[in-house]
Structure 1
Amino acid sequence: MPVPFAEFVIPPVGYTVGVLVVTGLVFWGLSRVRPPVTQATVLALAPWMVVGAVLHVLWQLEQSLATPIVPSVAEPLLSAPTVYVATFCLAGPAWLGLSLVQTLPARLTVSRALGLAGLGALGALIGVMGARVQAASLSGVTPGAPLVGLLAAVGVTGVGYGLISRWQLGTVPIDRVRYAGGLVLFAHAFDATTTAIGVELLDVEERSAAPRAIMNVAATLPTEPLLGEAWLFIVVKLFLAVGIVVGFAEYAEESPTWGNLFYALIAAVGLGPAANNFFLFIINTPG
């Protein structure tokens, strides 16, 4: 039976303390400046979540190939889950700095600038990853199955959100949180579909305890010969994501700062691992 959090790699104490200190300073700076936290902010943070995933892919490539890929001084910061906290230590100062700019170019808001910065960083990292894969002469890029997972997640998100968008909760229609809530639903649908594709089509062993436990239950059901063992994980993930979107919609309406931050955190928990799966499977390097 998988041990909970056994897949986590905690860096040396010095790195851990340093990351925590920097994270605390970023939170302190943001609390002093208090930039608006809107649904657009949640969307702007999405590329940064994928940045963390790609950084972790580079770390996994280094472990798999037993050859240096990332600078040795940064290597301890790129294991999971530290890499996602370290990525926040990059995104947070960018957000803080943009919030302090007095005049941005026309039609460029802080959220748009933050999202564009994240996309720029993501594009650069994908370029580095592609160069490393080519230099290492890996078996090649196979985007078929991962792209199916991405398209399935988009479809599930569209259908799922269409079904719940008119749900009235108290005085707050669910479509009031359509951007942040939609990202939460997509992130966890993407995580579910990529995990299922890895397990069912690519023979990747699921190492995380909770998904593995759910799949073990599905493997004992009469549906296993027809549906496999990953379908129940997809159902559970979507059920939880929909429950969170619906359950916290009123809170996000009443307290947008904390509500949107909560949605961003929940989205990151799904989108980071999903993007990590996606890129690992594309480059034929299961984690």
Structure 2
Amino acid sequence: MVPVQLLPEGSTLPPPGVLLVLATALVGVVLALRRVAPQVTDQVVVAFGPWMVAGSSCYVLYQVEAVPRSVAPFFGSPTVYVSIAVLAGAVWAATAAAGFPADRWRPPSVPGIVALVGSAAAIAAVGWAFAFGVETRQGLTVAWPSVGLVIAVVLAAIVWSGLRRVAPETRITGGVGALAVFGHALDGVSTAVGIDVLGFGEQSPISRAIITFAADLPTAPVLGAAWLFVLVKLALAAAVVFLLAGYVRDEPAEGYLLLGAVAAVGLGPGAHNLLLFTIASP
């Protein structure tokens, strides 16, 4: 029997020593958060958006071998997401323990500081990747990733606006709902750019199956192979936001966190795609 591949290609476990360090750090952060019991708001969850970008950007650095071997295991997949979760969780615990408010953006506040530190991490990782791309390839591929970003923003705005109009109850999801829609729009559109324009492959087996199916349709010569994947991502994001709206209303903390996780599995891969295309396009 051939085993079914569920994880994206390139996912590997780090050495036991790295696993021990990350596991210990993660347990420590989780215990700190449980002790502090921070308030979970729409703003707090949205503030982790830059951290999602930071994690994906660090994985790009690992893929192009731009990080020293001594720290490379912390940048691999899925290890890098645990590494980033530890850092982000530590910042969250520290700001919450300091008694900063969780329902406003202007610092000193939990969302403001979490977002600022995450943005600094994301900018550092992206800048590192750009510098590496310029040094090793004598240039960056900016045009198509930029086009993909613009299209994703437009599609996300259309879907989010339409969803709130058709299902007004989804408005309660606030910024987290909008982030989830945008994240999956970015993932879908960036994948389409990579597959149909830049000649990249798809690592996720489920996504690859959808793209392969669309490639065999009569529409492929006109629309390419990834258009169906974009539609599926947009439809799934809208459906999940709709289904979780009631949960957010009844259990705001748990609902926002769950919807934030949905946003992460879209925004992370989408940001990863755009950065990789920019610095490593053939």
Distance in 2 between the 1:20 and 1:240 partners?
32
Tell me the CA shift for residue 7 of structure 1: 2.8
TM normalised by structure 2 equals 0.91
Match of 2:22 among 9, 15, 19: 19
What secondary structure sits across from 1:36 in the alignment?
coil
Q: Which residue of 1 aligns with 2:6?
A: 4
Match of 2:57 among 54, 59, 76: 54
TM normalised by structure 1 equals 0.90
Q: Which residue of 2 aligns with 1:36?
A: 39
Tell me the CA shift for residue 84 of structure 1: 1.1
Which consecutive unaligned segments of at least 5 residues does structure 1 have?
A: 63-68
Whether the 8 Å CA contact 2:130–2:140 is kept in 1: the answer is no
Distance in 2 between the 1:130 and 1:201 partners?
21
CA deviations 1:77-117 (Å, max 9, x no partner) are 1111211111011111011111122468x942211111011
Q: Which residue of 1 aligns with 2:113?
A: 113
Structure-to-structure mapping, 1:10-159, within 5 angstroms: 10-62=13-65, 69-102=66-99, 107-108=106-107, 109-136=109-136, 138-159=137-158
Residue 130 of structure 1 aligns to which amino acid in structure 2? Answer: F
Distance in 1 between the 2:196 and 2:131 partners?
29
Distance in 2 between the 1:244 and 1:7 partners?
28
What secondary structure sits across from 1:87 in the alignment?
helix
Match of 2:215 among 213, 219, 222: 219
Query: Would you say how many aligned residue pairs link Structure 1 and Structure 2?
Result: 275
Distance in 1 between the 2:200 and 2:131 partners?
24
Residue 111 of structure 2 aligns to which amino acid in structure 1? Answer: S
Distance in 1 between the 2:273 and 2:100 partners?
39
CA deviations 1:61-89 (Å, max 9, x no partner) are 11xxxxxx323332111111211111011
Residue 244 of structure 1 aligns to which amino acid in structure 2? Answer: V
Q: RMSD in angstroms over aligned alpha carbons?
A: 2.0
Whether the 8 Å CA contact 1:166–1:175 is kept in 2: the answer is no
Whether the 8 Å CA contact 1:46–1:268 is kept in 2: the answer is yes
The verdict on how the C-alpha distance between 1:167 and 1:22 changes in structure 2, with shifts beyond 3 A counting, is farther
What secondary structure sits across from 1:283 in the alignment?
helix
Distance in 1 between the 2:80 and 2:278 partners?
20
Tell me the CA shift for residue 238 of structure 1: 1.1
Identical columns (%): 37
Q: Which residue of 1 aligns with 2:235?
A: 239
Whether the 8 Å CA contact 1:141–1:283 is kept in 2: the answer is yes
Q: Which residue of 2 aligns with 1:166?
A: 165
Q: Which residue of 1 aligns with 2:275?
A: 279
Distance in 1 between the 2:242 and 2:60 partners?
33
Distance in 1 between the 2:45 and 2:85 partners?
13
Most deviating of 202-211 and 19-28: 19-28
The verdict on how the C-alpha distance between 1:125 and 1:168 changes in structure 2, with shifts beyond 3 A counting, is closer
Tell me the CA shift for residue 168 of structure 1: 4.2
The verdict on how the C-alpha distance between 1:285 and 1:219 changes in structure 2, with shifts beyond 3 A counting, is closer
Tell me the CA shift for residue 234 of structure 1: 0.8
